[in-house]
Amino acid sequence: MRVLSLSGSHVKKGNTGLLIGYLNEQIEEAAIEDLKMKSVSLAGAKIGPCKGCRKCMEAGYCVVKDDFNSIARKMLKSDLIIIGSPVYFQDVSGRVKNFIDRTYSLWHDRQLKGKKVIPVAVSAVSGEDRALETIRIWAQAHEMKIIRSVHGHGYKRGEVLRDQEAKDDVITVVHDLVGELKSEH
């Protein structure tokens, strides 16, 4: 199974990346057969907004020249996509929203259909429900299989790893993922 983890934080090793990292560690410990993992941070990636040009409808990919297509190719090669966002103002970060909007270029031919997804959100206090809803709606539009969502709380760097409920959610998500994989065989 090929796993791609996307952190949509502006901070490379912030709470979102740390929670995704913990999730990745637990997936690795689950001894899943033929596991290959890649992680991508959207921090520093140049991904502009969708321009609405609709050229992707014919091309089958986004014609805007930036970092989106190289990340999209990694998604297309993956079986499971973990996509995480910090909650800055009651929703996903601008980086994640731009990324989600740009996947419109993959929607026409249903290029993400059937891929598994784990939405992840980290907030200081609140807003994770809306952020997770945004990611779930995106996944549903692409006809992806949502395994389960994970959310955590943390403001200062590293606080999310002291959120026991979040860590318990990660264990549950990995258990569900393993169950899903077993049911496929």
For the chain, the DSSP string reads -EEEEEE--SSTTSHHHHHHHHHHHHHHHTT-TT-EEEEEE-TT----------THHHHSS--S-SSHHHHHHHHHT-SEEEEEEE-SSSS--HHHHHHHHHTHHHHTTTTTTT-EEEEEEEESSS-HHHHHHHHHHHHHHTT-EE---EEEE-SSTTGGGG-HHHHHHHHHHHHHHHHHHHHH-
Q: What average pLDDT score do residues 99-103 get?
A: 98
User: What is residue 31's predicted lDDT score, i.e. its pLDDT?
Assistant: 86
Return the closest-CA partner of residue 92 out of 63, 147, 134, 47.
134
Q: What does the mean pLDDT of the chain come to? A: 96
Amino acid occupying residue 122: V
Asked if residue 185 has pLDDT above 80, the reply is no
Residue-wise pLDDT tens digits, 53-85: 999 999 999 999 999 999 999 999 999 999 999
Residue-wise pLDDT tens digits, 170-180: 999 999 999 99
Asked if residue 158 has pLDDT above 80, the reply is yes
Give the domain ranges of the chain.
2-177
CATH architecture of 2-177: 3-Layer(aba) Sandwich (3.40)
User: What is residue 105's predicted lDDT score, i.e. its pLDDT?
Assistant: 97
Asked if residue 183 has pLDDT above 90, the reply is no
Cα–Cα dist 116/128, whole Å: 20
User: What is residue 44's predicted lDDT score, i.e. its pLDDT?
Assistant: 87
Token pair in block for residue 62 = 């986004």
Q: What are phi and psi of 144, to 5 degrees?
A: -90, 160
Amino acid occupying residue 94: G
Cα–Cα dist 112/156, whole Å: 34
